[in-house]
Amino acid sequence: MNRVIYEPDFDLSVVGSLEELQEQVAGCTRCNLRAGCTRVVFGEGNPGARLMLIGEGPGADEDRMGRPFVGKAGQLLDKILEAVGLERFTHTYIANVVKCRPPGNRVPRPEEAEQCLPWLYRQIELVSPKIIVLLGSTALQYLIDPQARITVMRGRWLVSKSGIKIMPTYHPAALLRDASKKRPVWEDFKQVKEAYLNLYLSQG
Ligand code: URA
């Protein structure tokens, strides 16, 4: 990523597959969130997807189902993807900054994200997407810059050291609270779709 805020203090490079990683994450007790959640929400989608979406952390529905973005925000995300001609299981892989639900859906604390981010970094390496969409300010701040503002950064492409194109946009839950954010998110996902199609064109 552009800026690694937390250097992993455990080496995951030996974990060779998403399945193996998922098994290890299932047994993770590196922070207190695991004790308070029902299920670990590892992430899901096309393991070879060129497009990866990263949210904040599981909510109540995700915690119950063990799957990311299955509640109201997730249903809206599905509609947004559909509107630009993308389907989550075919075209995307979806994960979160933290894999266990923070109590009461609060924002993950730095010490929780610090313990969980190495899992996400390895997940990104294993999926190896060409494009990442950061959904909301938590993903933006933990993956790019703790001071970054989503209102300023959304809609602008960033590029990681390894060449991944990164688009920050509003979290779908924010759209449920404020309908005026729908238009900008639509514009952002149109850019994402265009970049996605360009991947194929550039490969001939
Ligand atoms: N919000 C998130 O950030 N992630 C989920 O998986 C669900 C809701």
Q: What are the residue boundaries of the structural domains of the chain, listed by start?
A: 18-203
Residues 62-88 have pLDDT tens digits of: 999 999 999 999 999 999 999 999 999
Q: Assess whether the C-beta atom of 96 lies below 6 angstroms from ligand 1.
A: yes
Residues 99-131 have pLDDT tens digits of: 999 999 999 999 999 999 999 999 999 999 999
**What's the 95 CA to ligand 1 centre distance in angstroms?**
8
DSSP calls for 63-81 = HHHTSSS-SHHHHHHHHHH
Residue 45, helix vs strand vs coil: strand
Residue 202 has a pLDDT of 80
Q: Assess whether the C-beta atom of 44 lies below 6 angstroms from ligand 1.
A: no
Q: Assess whether the C-beta atom of 108 lies below 6 angstroms from ligand 1.
A: no
pTM for the whole structure? 0.94
The protein residue whose alpha carbon is closest to atom 7 in ligand 1 is: 69
Q: Which of 40, 56, 63 to mutate to test the pocket of ligand 1 (most atoms within 8 A of CB)?
A: 56
**What's the 199 CA to ligand 1 centre distance in angstroms?**
27
- Of 88, 41, 33, nearest to 64 by C-alpha is 41
Dihedral of the alpha carbons of 112, 116, 117, 119, in degrees to the nearest 10: 180
Indicate the average pLDDT of the chain: 94
Q: Which atom of ligand 1 is nearest to the CA of 135?
A: 3
**What's the 75 CA to ligand 1 centre distance in angstroms?**
11
CATH number of 18-203: 3.40.470.10
Provide the token pair at 67: 């799957």
Distance CA 99, CA 37 (A): 10
